[in-house]
A and B are shown apart, each in its own frame.
Chain A
Amino acid sequence: MTLKADWEIVGSPIDPDSDERLFFTDHEWDTIEAAAARIIPTDHDPGAREARVVVFIDRYLSGIDYIFAAADGSGFLKLTGKFADAWRARMFDMQQTYRDGIKALDAVARDQFSKAFKDLGESEQDLVLEAFSGAPKPGPVTLGSSLAVGTFLQGTFDQGLPFFEALCLHTRQGFYCDPVYGGNKDQIGWKIIGFPGPKSLKDTMDGTYSTTEYFVEEYDWNELVPHLGKAG
């Protein structure tokens, strides 16, 4: 059996401009593209639509060919053995979550506005998402306040998430992921929040991509840590 350490690199980076659908039907594609555009909307900056989030999600849901990019971004790893089985089962469940979720979203849209979700105006779509999520549309972050929250987990895995939570997470991932995965086209997501990001994953493997300019240029440890001076 091929060991995980020896997974082959196959395929190539995902083309964000592709209109080919590997998983979604046309209706599903249009619905997800429209919903993602309400999760990260287009304003004076591009949003999920321009970043090609729908391509990212379609490829992810298509099976297990686009789970892990090769380290250098030249293609994707071909999973084997128990890992492949686990991911296949997981993606089967996630496909179902999306298929059922899109139907449920349309049902709410038809119930409230007698149209499919994708055919609604933006504010109507927001009302549907609000009803669907069971919570008011999030309001702006305000400064001058404190907000206590509970436990924090490192790394967010999508297994078992309900449709709306999965869609919000996947939209975020498609907006900010390395472009090898088909989203974050032309590094749109990174540009609007001011993250420099590497030109390619390969550049993070050999020292080409460096972020030292974002560290402090001039400093004196004795000033930052006065105890050093006292000890000396």
Chain B
Amino acid sequence: MRHAKKPDQVDAIVVGLGATGATAAKVLSEAGLKVVGFDRGPWLSAKDHYSGDELKFVNRNYLWPDPNLFPRTLRHDETSAAERFPFSPTPQLVGGGTNHWAGWVPRPRESDFMVRSLHGDIEGASLADWPIRYEHLEPYLTKVEWEFGISGIAGADKYEPFRSKAYPSEPLRPTKFGKRFYEACNKMGINGFPIPHAMVTNNHKGRDPFNTTSFWNQYGDPSTARSNTLTTFIPEAVATGNFELRSESFVREITVGKDGRATGVVYIDPDGNEVVQEAKVVVLGLGAIESARLMLMSKSPQFPDGLGNSSGMVGKNATFHEYVFAVGLFDQEIDDPLHGWAGNYISGGTFEFYETDENRGHIGGCLISASQTCHPINWVFPGRPQWGQSLKDADRSYFNFAMKIGAILHDMPVESNRVDLDPTVKDAWGLPVARITHKPHANDVAMSKWQVDKNAEILQVAGARKTVPVYLDRMTGNTCHQHGTARMGTDPSKTVLNEWCQSHDVDNLFVVDGSCFPTSTGVNPTLTMMANAWRVSEYIADVWSKGREEHITLAG
């Protein structure tokens, strides 16, 4: 390995520049800290590199990680052999998953922060309360909604907790399948409302949201309609003059000094040189799988089991949500076309079935929503005939006559569901890959069945003549949501991070992505993650870097 000249020490290193890392880079550099940010993926230009090419974006992994370069392995329990599987393939590049995401950004609910207080212990799960509450996050939810750019209608969601400010942008007009969803909800007494969307429809902060192509979920957006940290927080961080971005640079270890504090990182630059970068504080935002992996790879005499892992909890209690849904087919002889491929993926949804209802026989619930059925090659019709006249007839009859309603599974934390280092499989840099061990909890299976059946019922009320329910049979990570591998909490023997997402073991190591989530919540996590990253970054800049320490005490 060649070694390049060591650059000067900086105030802060941010590893991973997706939703949360870019938020940290912005907040820290705007506060005056000198920051270097690393991403293993490219620093693309949205306006030059993105267009409506289904094959490239959806089938050939232009943004999804190449499974040969960035493999992962999956097994369902401790005793079975792990197999290569592209589990939770969140794009690895500057902007991360905000490049390709649909951009669901509902607010979390108050109940999400206190699942254990509400339900006690349930067998086989490790429920926990968060060391913060909704009220601690609310000001930062508002900051992200305004600074990042979110469209929605305040007051439309009957079940939303307190908000201090409305949205900066109006939602898109409804799609045809969205209208069907609202109408069915109204017949059933359900509060359907436009799901808050990480995009703007106005010129908020000088943006030019011209993209009305309907190429949205999984595609990059060449306009600035989509709220993507690549086109928002990253340029804002760069504009401070305090932020330097090193892309296609792979951080392989966080280094520690004799005193057990982090000294910086070792990374491999695009030419294959190994470089040491020192900093006063190291902030991880790689996502819950890769942050856990990097901590576990950072072994030292002080931390033989991985950095910040004296509790042995790094990687454990991993939760991933899973997208489960039902598709409805309509009759072209009777019904008007639904054009399920049109729109920016997201449409109407509801929190009607989110909170626990003991009559259902399980705890928790899900946000459900109607969304796009997508484009010709991959349009979502599970069970579609594979070949022959029936295939051609099915595409011709139903491509424009289908809609879907789905749920993201509010999965329960289970200690044995975890991320560790695969003992044999290596990535293209020769480093051990993340191995996922996961088996759904019985509550997950029951919840997904109930929610999918509810989706099918709404489709039937909407007029569907055939429904195709897709139940949970195993966790595949198909939402790219990752949480819980470095839970935050007050007890250093049971959690990895404190309420500021600061390592209990290493005071200058912070993890700002979903790793800190004690429980998965039932909402798409990115808004919560970004708000939390903002909260933590502000603490680093305003309190920790000034040599002070604060703690949050919860009432009651």
Residues of A that sit less than 8 Å from B by CB: 1, 3-5, 38-41, 43, 45, 47, 67-69, 71-73, 82-83, 86-87, 89-90, 126, 129, 133, 137-159, 165, 168, 171-173, 176-178, 180-181, 189-190, 192-195, 198, 201-202, 204-207, 209-212, 214-216, 219, 221, 224-228, 231-232
Contact = CB atoms under 8 A, between A and B. Distances in A.
Interface of B: 41-45, 47-56, 58-62, 64, 66-69, 86, 153, 155-156, 158, 172-176, 178-179, 182-183, 186, 191-194, 210-215, 218, 222-223, 247-248, 270-272, 322-325, 329, 331, 337, 339, 341-343, 348, 375-378, 380, 382-400, 428, 456, 465-474, 476, 478
23 contacts: A5-B42, A5-B248, A41-B388, A41-B392, A86-B68, A87-B66, A146-B456, A147-B383, A152-B325, A152-B382, A154-B218, A155-B58, A159-B67, A168-B387, A193-B400, A195-B376, A201-B53, A216-B173, A219-B173, A224-B192, A224-B348, A225-B182, A226-B186
**Helix, strand, loop or mixed for chain A's interface?**
loop
Contacts of B388: 38-39, 41, 126, 137-138
A141 B376 contact: no
B103 to A, nearest CB: 15
Nearest to A56: B55
Given A173-B377, A225-B192, A204 B52 contact: yes
B153 A228 contact: yes
A71 B466 contact: no
B394 A228 contact: no
A192 B394 CA distance: 12
Contact of B60 (A41, A68, A72, A89): A68
A86 B465 contact: no
Nearest to A167: B387
A155 B175 contact: no
B392 A148 contact: no
Given A140-B390, A149-B468, A153-B476, A71 B395 contact: no
A224 B41 CA distance: 42
A89 B68 contact: yes
B43 A141 contact: no
Nearest to A221: B153
A144 B466 contact: yes
A211 B212 contact: yes
B51 A202 contact: yes
Which 9 A-B residue pairings sit nearest by Cβ, starting from the closest? A138-B385, A204-B52, A176-B376, A214-B342, A207-B210, A4-B42, A5-B42, A143-B465, A224-B182
